[in-house]
Amino acid sequence: MREPLSWPYDSEATWRAWRDHLDQVREPPLHIGALKRDADAEIARIVRCREGRWEPKRPQLVPPRAGPEVVCGAKPQGLC
């Protein structure tokens, strides 16, 4: 089996198959650790790119709740 091309040329499934293949090699080459790290890094990159974190976010419909000490300008209890 050959090492896949970078994503999007080869899919995440191809990279996972390559990583599984590296785990099952009977006579691993000396640089097997580097190949595994590269495969793990590429899989992580594919997952990150598919998250959609760079797309614009919709505004929240409900603002976050304020803590109990911040209620209409009242002083926190126990400080007077």
pLDDT at 37 over 90: yes
> In angstroms, how far is CA 43 from the centroid of its own chain?
9
The model carries a pTM of 0.58
- Average pLDDT of the chain is 78
Residues 6+ positions from 59 with CB-CB distance below 8 Å: none
Q: Region 42-71: what's the mean pLDDT?
A: 73
* Dist CA 62 CA 80 (whole Å): 33
Kindly report, residue by residue over 15-33, the tens digit of the pLDDT: 899 999 999 988 888 889 9
What pLDDT is recorded for position 54?
Answer: 66
| Pair 4, 28: CB distance under 8 Å | no
- pLDDT: which is higher, 77 or 57: 57
- pLDDT: which is higher, 9 or 21: 21
